[in-house]
Structure 1
Amino acid sequence: MLWLIGCATAPAISSVPELTYSQQAYVIGIADQLRIDVWRNADLTRDVRVRPDGFITMPLMGDVQAQGQTPEALAAIISQELKAVIKNPEVAVTVSNPVSVTYQFRVRALGQVNQPISVAFTAGMTVVDLVLAAGGVSPFGAAQRTILYRLTRAGYVEHPVHLNAILLRGEIATNYLLQPADILIIPEKSVWKGEF
């Protein structure tokens, strides 16, 4: 009879995941809800939603391209157009509901967590923050085989996360900072790997 004995070892760290995210000025997208304030002109102040064609409609101006503009740039465009009818218009654009980025700026925890989640990304989030938000590792989770998937220009790249070392021994070398679109997957324990 042949007996196979294996030991579970932590995978070697290939490299620290490169952080490519940096805070940028918000760019208006389709379905975003905007508040357009024209100082001293209540009739021109309004709440508008960016249409599927990327435009909004403003009184005295008609259609204005909003998609792809920052709020400051859109305010400058509206102000310039209104100069034909208003002396020194002062315009402010606020994104009151940024619908277009709802799924672009999220991080996700899947697999053997107590509550699989997709949450809005916040600068400074780490692997542990995401695991805690997901209710921790389930009893069936192989925490030592956790993988962080990071989206790069070449596609998703895998980065091993030594979650047991982080949670049980406080070794935080793989408690990586997260960025939008990161996916953390904790696989199920395997009898064949001696994990039960």
Structure 2
Amino acid sequence: MGILSQFRNGLLVLAALLLTACSGIPSSDKMPPASELEADPYEIGVGDTITVHVWRNPELGQAIVVRPDGYISLPLMGDVKAEGKEPEALASEITAGLSEYIRTPEVTVMVTNPVSKEFRNRVRITGQVTSPQSVAFQPGMTVLDLVLMAGGLTDFAADGRATLSRMVNGEYKTWELDLGAMLRDGDMTYNHALQPGDVISVPRKQLFRGEL
């Protein structure tokens, strides 16, 4: 009975080793860190349409497009900086400004057309691809999706030296991509899920004199 138990345990260990070897899961040092989308509060940007509502003072409320300089113009207050502020923070600032003119104002600010969000959430691919792209991010997009949308690689692409750049904690970090292995050999190790703001760069390969 002891021999059978040892044999069974040996088979379990062997099966576990085989599953690990065949899983194809990339190591953590090659995989960009995952993070939840839209984790940060929304900040108003240039081009956004915001609606300002002042309770019991409808004449002070309006829908406004944030100007290229980041400001909006409001009755009584004049120009107010809106870019880079959360709607609640802007509402508090407007409330403080209007309190000099009306008693206990109650202000709400809503972003009704978040144009800047769509631009910030784009993903881009540049360099040696048939058609460099800047497209709106869609959940589920991967590196392969963006490469195919760009029409694939050119003959001059250094497909083994491509990179994926991502903003992490306020600064860009870069990971290597072997697009050649992915496109020619079907190796999906580098087919990472994309996130808003990601940039894929495909450099030009170095040519020797005989290839010029």
- TM-score class, shorter: 0.5 to 0.7
1:53–1:156 distance in 2 versus 1, CA, 3 Å: closer
Structure-1-length-normalised TM-score: 0.65
TM-score normalised by L of structure 2: 0.61
Q: Match for 2:111 among 94, 105, 119?
A: 94
Q: Which residue of 1 aligns with 2:64?
A: 48
Aligned to 1:27: 43
Partner of residue 144 from structure 1, selected from 140, 155, 160: 160
- Residue type of the alignment partner of 2:41: A
Cα deviation for residue 38 of structure 1 reads 4.7
Sequence identity percentage: 39
Separation in structure 1 between the aligned mates of residue 64 and residue 171 of structure 2, nearest angstrom: 36
Do the aligned partners of 1:21 and 1:179 also contact (CA within 8 Å) in 2? Answer: no
Partner of 1:36: 52
Q: How big is the shift at 1:62?
A: 4.1
Stretches of structure 1 that go unaligned for 5 or more consecutive residues are 1-11
Matched, 1:17 2:29: no
Equivalence for 1:134: 150
**Separation in 2, partners of 1:77, 1:156:** 32
Equivalent pair of 1:31/1:50 in contact (CA under 8 Å): yes
2:191 aligns to what?
Answer: 175
* Structure-1 separation of matches of 2:102 and 2:207: 76
Q: Going by fraction, where is helix more abundant, 1 or 2?
A: 2
| 2:85 is equivalent to residue 69 of structure 1 | yes
> Alignment length, in residue pairs?
181
Letter in 2 for 1:15: K
Tell me the SS of whatever aligns to 2:183: helix
Distance 2:109 2:84 in 1: 17
CA change 1:35–1:132 in 2 (3 A) is: farther
Shift of 1:148: 1.9
Q: Say which structure, 1 or 2, has more relative contact order (CA 8 Å, 6+ apart).
A: 1
Of residues 44-53 and 24-33 in structure 1, the stretch that sits farther from structure 2 once superposed is: 44-53
Deviation at 1:49, TM superposition (A): 3.5
Asked if 2 retains the 8 angstrom alpha-carbon contact of 1:128 and 1:175, the reply is yes
Distance in 1 separating the partners of 2:170 and 2:79: 38
Aligned partners of 1:13 and 1:159 also within 8 Å: no
5+ long unaligned stretches in structure 2? 1-26
Contact 2:66-2:83 at 8 Å conserved across structures: yes
Larger Rg, first or second structure (1 or 2): 2
Q: Could you say what secondary structure the match of 1:141 adopts?
A: coil
The separation in 1 between residues aligned to 2:171 and 2:106, in whole angstroms, is 46
